[in-house]
Chains A and B, each alone.
Chain A
Amino acid sequence: MGAVTVIRAENLRTWFPVKTGLFKPVSYVKAVDGVSFSIHKGEALAVVGESGCGKTTLGRTTLRVLEPVSGKLYFYDKDVTHSREEELREFRRKTAMIFQDPYSSLNPVFNVYRILEEPLIVNGIRDKRERAERIYKALEEVKLSPVELFMRKYPHMLSGGQRQRVAIARALILKPEYVVADEPVSMLDASVRAEILYLLNDLKNKHKIAFMYITHDLATAKYFCERTAIMYAGKIVELGPTKEIIRNPRHPYTRALIEALPDPDPNNRFRRIRVVPGEPPNLVNPPSGCRFHPRCPYAKDICSREEPKLAEVKPGHLVACHLYA
């Protein structure tokens, strides 16, 4: 795991206009509101949060499927924040995405061979034999063998796990250097998940790919990601080594999250889970100061006035909370 930074985000903001009024939009959904992080070669960063916290938007922004409103996004040294589509050709070739729903992320009209061929054709690999070779290799790497058999199948003939492998093969066939995996196992059966997670881990180590792994299940992050970022209401509230965050969560939200995620333990039924009240906030008008303050059991005066900055509490472990300022 080298220290080469593949992806770097500085104060990234992605806002969606809410259409009201005839002329300019009056308000915005501030899905990603000031996020900074970096991912290194061969490293996986988990972005954990509940639905609506902005993690999916963040992932798509780093792939320039969405364009940020402000802030900066660097791919290696290149500033790709506002590059136009033509300038992004090489970026597109070196980045890829794996989606959550194995049932809609594959084109139902194409067979597996065709699905894997598309990225190659689009990126100018003209030689048919070279394409065939790469497709074969890709299918073998995700352990879909015999390759000849799977090549001809259509998505509806495959199980969820098999489809996800095809999606992974498709993402990796151009030898990307940065991959965003958006909840890649949450729609798979429990007995299949581990296989996919291990596969992703192997591929990450073998090809030294930088990953962003988006999930709401912190437990799976542990098996794949070296570092974890906890997101709440469009901001990163805690960032650090995954094991450290799980063992020593600092931010009250992180603590609430961990508390609320059960392990399979028959004693759970005798305990009540300590939960924070309320709901995640409206991203059009988030609360002032620290976004978590209305629900936080430790909220102080300053929390409603000032937004806490992400600051180190230990080397490599950052928290955005006034409790640690």
Chain B
Amino acid sequence: MKNILTTKDLVLYYRTSRGPVRAVDYVNLWVESGSSLAVVGESGCGKSSLAYAILRVLPRNVHTYKGEVLFNGINLMSLKEEEMRSKIRWREISMVFQGAMNTLNPVIKIGDQMVEPLIIHAGYRKEEALKEAGEAIRNVGLAEYILDRYPHELSGGMKQRVVIAMALLMKPKLVILDEPTSALDVLTQANIMNLLKDLKEREKLSYIFITHDLALASELADAVAVMYAGKVAEIGSAEQIYGDPKHPYTKKLIGSVPTLRSDKTLEFIPGAPPDLVNPPKGCRFHPRCPYAKDVCRREEPPLIKVGDNDYVACWLYGGE
């Protein structure tokens, strides 16, 4: 199967008063067409920054931004900003930002907010745009009268559906979702996950699903990339990652998720994730790793193949 998106040595560093923050530090990953990749990691591992790096939605204090982002063969890094804006963003790749439902404009009706980008950027006429919006709204399981409502009249779950509808307006091929259910109740969350599963099937979408919740990720992930301190620690199929994790960090991370349906001792990792301004030398995880060897302290491990489509960045698996 072809990969709809591949990143090669993607780098995004931010400039801060304390020095450059190495949020995305030579990240290599891929998303197969029609499948979803879950990018999991704890707070501060750089997973949100990864999304911005892919879509080139950059803040002002960028220190370094380089690498390759191949989307259906085209290197997005070689496109000009104008081309990114008119051809890629929202058309081919769209994004549901974290907490997006709170950024809906409170004084504009839902319908008007949805048609705005269509009219302004795509040159639609108002009637056409409203028709598209209506279809998108129905697609996410809401009735058309929602278009006439204001955001505060909707519940959290409904607002999130609206945001997803907006992301799908121009029928993109790849949708990046950054913690799409973080502020929602458990039952509402389940509803949204069901919706995302339906949409994936119906519209043949590919997803990049960013979350810190490993259990939630399993609801949608065909493949999982585990991030730690701005780098990919392990990437592979969902079966591999959940069933037979290789990286010590992944093992502990999976072990730290409480399970309802099975009894196990919860694992935890002593210490805290490192500072992205001054990460540890060598393997980023070595200060907290129970298996750290000498080489781990000196050199950063590359991604080593351990299965058909599974790779680990760990010296335990060779590559020396």
Contacts and interface: CB of A to CB of B under 8 A. Distances in A.
Interface stretch (B60-68, B89-97, B171-179, B268-276): B268-276
Interface string B235-266: 00111011100000000111011111110001
Contacts of A275: 187, 190-191, 194
A120 interface: no
B216 interface: yes
A121 interface: no
A262 B253 contact: no
A269 B221 contact: yes
A190 B260 contact: no
Pairs of residues from A and B, 8 with the lowest C-beta to C-beta distance, nearest first:
A194-B266, A266-B238, A260-B190, A219-B258, A194-B268, A189-B42, A50-B185, A191-B269
B50 interface: no
Contact of A191 (B155, B190, B253): B253
Interface string B175-199: 0000000000111111101100100
Interface of A: 50-51, 159-162, 189-195, 197-198, 216-220, 222-223, 246, 256-266, 268-269, 272-273, 275-276, 279-280
B161 interface: no
A255 to B, nearest CB: 11
B22 interface: no
Contacts of A219: 215, 257-260
Contacts of B187: 50, 256-257, 260, 275-276
A261 B187 CA distance: 8
B273 A189 contact: yes
A279 B187 CA distance: 9
Contact of A222 (B42, B219, B258): B258
A254 to B, nearest CB: 12
Residue from A259, A269, A272, A276 whose CB has the most chain B CB atoms within 10 Å:
A269
B258 A50 contact: no
B236 to A, nearest CB: 11
B185 A280 contact: yes
A268 B213 CA distance: 14
B266 A223 contact: yes
B262 A197 contact: no
A50 B189 CA distance: 11
A220 to B, nearest CB: 5
Nearest to B158: A279
A290 B217 CA distance: 34
Interface in B210-224: 212-222
B134 to A, nearest CB: 22
Contacts of B105: none
Nearest to A265: B218
B272 A266 contact: no
A194 B267 contact: yes
A264 B257 contact: yes
B76 to A, nearest CB: 27
Contacts of A279: 155, 157, 188
Interface centre among A189, A220, A265 (most CB of B within 10 A): A189
